[in-house]
Amino acid sequence: MRIALALVALLAVASPALAADGVGPKLKVTRLDQLPTPLPKPYNEALTAKQVDAQVDAAFARARKTGKNVIIDLGGNWCVWCRELAAAMDLPEAKPFIAANFEVVSVNTSSTNGKLDDRNVQILKRFDVKKIDGVPWLIVADPNGKVLASSSDVTDKQHETPQLMINWIAAYTPKKAKS
């Protein structure tokens, strides 16, 4: 599956028509250093585990009504990659696409002490994440909670541009949803 996603992302960059037709919106920003600054800090570090659970539950409730998929973005505000992904998702071309197809919940799971999974461990258990090997770690699930993807691949070496990050996400667009 990883190879297939990398191929889709590679084709999207090589062919702007493909990027604009079903893979994901075509972004004007082509490099990470072109993202608007300051980069967003998407993770609310003050939320309790109960509040985080409520946010995730609410996202799934909305998704069941709208047919959108859910993205649970696990990471920390100290993480530049996490903040760059948030900035890419917030770009004018990407934001409406994300909003039309996904319910997004950012969950702080890591701290600056080098641990990637020492916060909100109940979310990791809920989605059977045994180990986080990098952040951001995205869990993409259908409205009923079936996990479609669970990985840090969105910012791996094959996805180091805003366009490739959005294309990775777009691969999990619900079939019936429209952007």
How is the beta sheet containing 147-151 ordered, strand by strand? 102-108, 69-75, 137-141, 147-151
The DSSP element (H or E) to which 102 belongs, if any, is strand 102-108
Per-residue confidence band for 72, with pLDDT thresholds at 50, 70 and 90? very high
**Mean pLDDT in residue range 50-76:** 97
What is the reported pLDDT for 116? 82
Sole residue written with tokens 């903040």 = 83
Q: What is the pTM of this model?
A: 0.84
Cβ proximity of 9 and 159 under 8 Å: yes
Over residues 154-165, the pLDDT tens digits come to 988 889 999 999
Per-residue pLDDT tens digits for 90-125: 999 999 999 999 999 999 998 767 678 889 999 999
DSSP code string of 22-66: II-PPPS--SGGGS-SSPP----TT--HHHHHHHHHHHHHHHHHH
Between residues 17 and 2, the one the model is more confident about: 2
70: β partners:
103, 141
Quote the tokens at residue 150.
């669970």
Which domains are assigned to the chain?
2-170 (3.40.30.10)
Alpha-carbon distance of 54 to 49, in angstroms, equals 9
Residue 16 pLDDT grade (very low, low, confident, very high; cuts 50, 70, 90): very low
